[in-house]
Amino acid sequence: MTISRRRRSGSCAVALGGWCFGLIAFLALARSAAAETIELRYGAAFSAAESVYSLPVLVADREQLFAREGVRIRNIMVPGGGDKMIAALGDGTADLAHVATAFLVSADLAGADAVAIAAEFDNPIYSLIAKPEIATFADLKGRVIGLADESGTVAYATRRLLALNGIRGADFQVKIVSGTPARIDCLMRSLCDAVPLGQPQDFVAMDRGFRLLGRTNDAVPAFLYTVTAVRRSWAQSHKDAVVRYVRALSAAFQFIRDPAHRSEVVTLLAQAAGTSDTSARHTLALYLDPDRQVLPLRGELDLAGLKQVIAFMAEARLIALPLPLPERFVDLQYLRAAAIE
């Protein structure tokens, strides 16, 4: 009896042999992996978090793609527009941030230490949605149109769509409303007669009887819309963490594009945007059936698309000549290290 007790109270390797040794090794590796998990603070606007523009990061998080790379994302909600995202990077509130490229360009030219490391959305599709009684673009004359910040590409693209259909700036009144969720609210409350909406809120509005007049991608060339941005100096000293993030984001785009995962992606988008599965399904079909190059393939940064943003900004007199090269605003080393570029 004494010998039996000793064996049970001694090392498990004596009692169970190689199995116990393997268990100890596994637990040690698990503890080591947990200790190496890197937390990254991701800055996002409330409007983006409640729309399709949160989808790539959301999928990477919910499908454990970040966890697979040893990364844990903590969302930092930043009130305000793209300039606030850059400020959050600058003061260390966030390590990475979801930023529209026009704001990144403006901030860099003003001296900010910010740069794009991966693409999140390439060619956005904004639908100009109007009240049911507005049947044509001509009916917008004298009406109130809710536009995004004039320094961003959404307002520019919407104005291009209006001009293409014979509506000039003097023909309508402008109400500045930032973010698709706020603009659909403006429309529903009849404070706006028409607004540009992203997805899936445009489908929600159409389901409620509001009218689609046109889509902005009919009026503008392809461009790079939103990116993950970082502070250059921070990223240089945290290269491993940034590369892990980029690999996970790349895997998210592949997951979203895989038809086998369509139902899962629909559910995630519907939950994030607070809409029906039907609206979310219509959104993905709009993007991918056929592929309209709304989403990057793997998070690659399209320099030609960024060059087009710079041209938009010059046309809107937001930046002066000579125009800067798009390479100024990106750092491709992290995509290359992740074997994407």
Instruction: Let me know: does 222 contact 293? Beta carbons within 8 Å.
Output: yes
pLDDT the model gives residue 149: 86
pLDDT the model gives residue 171: 97
Question: What residues does each domain of the chain span?
Answer: 37-123+223-337, 127-218
pLDDT the model gives residue 212: 98
Instruction: Let me know: does 305 contact 217? Beta carbons within 8 Å.
Output: no
pLDDT the model gives residue 338: 97
Instruction: Let me know: does 268 contact 52? Beta carbons within 8 Å.
Output: no
Tell me the two tokens of residue 141: 């004359």
Cα 126 from Cα 149, distance rounded (Å): 14
Tens of each residue's pLDDT in the chain, 341 residues: 333 333 333 444 434 444 444 544 444 444 444 448 999 999 998 888 888 999 999 999 999 999 999 999 999 999 877 789 999 999 999 999 999 999 999 999 999 999 999 999 999 999 999 999 999 999 999 999 999 888 889 999 999 999 999 999 999 999 999 888 899 999 999 999 999 999 999 999 999 999 999 999 999 999 999 999 999 999 999 999 999 999 999 999 999 999 999 999 999 999 999 999 999 999 999 999 999 999 999 999 999 999 999 999 999 899 999 999 999 999 999 999 999 97
pLDDT the model gives residue 12: 44
pLDDT the model gives residue 178: 87
Q: Which residues pair with 129 in a beta bridge?
A: 195, 212
* CATH fold group of domain 37-123+223-337: D-Maltodextrin-Binding Protein; domain 2 (3.40.190)
CA dihedral 148, 152, 157, 162 (to 10 degrees): 40
CA-closest candidate to residue 57, choices 200, 270, 251: 251
Q: Among the residues of 91-133, which ranges form H helices?
A: 101-109
Cα 272 from Cα 266, distance rounded (Å): 10
- Respond yes or no on whether the N-terminal peptide bond of residue 181 is cis (omega within 30° of 0): no
pLDDT the model gives residue 260: 98
- The CB density around residue 162, as the number of other CB atoms within 10 Å, is 25
Angle, alpha carbons 214-215-217 (nearest 5°): 140
* CATH fold group of domain 127-218: D-Maltodextrin-Binding Protein; domain 2 (3.40.190)
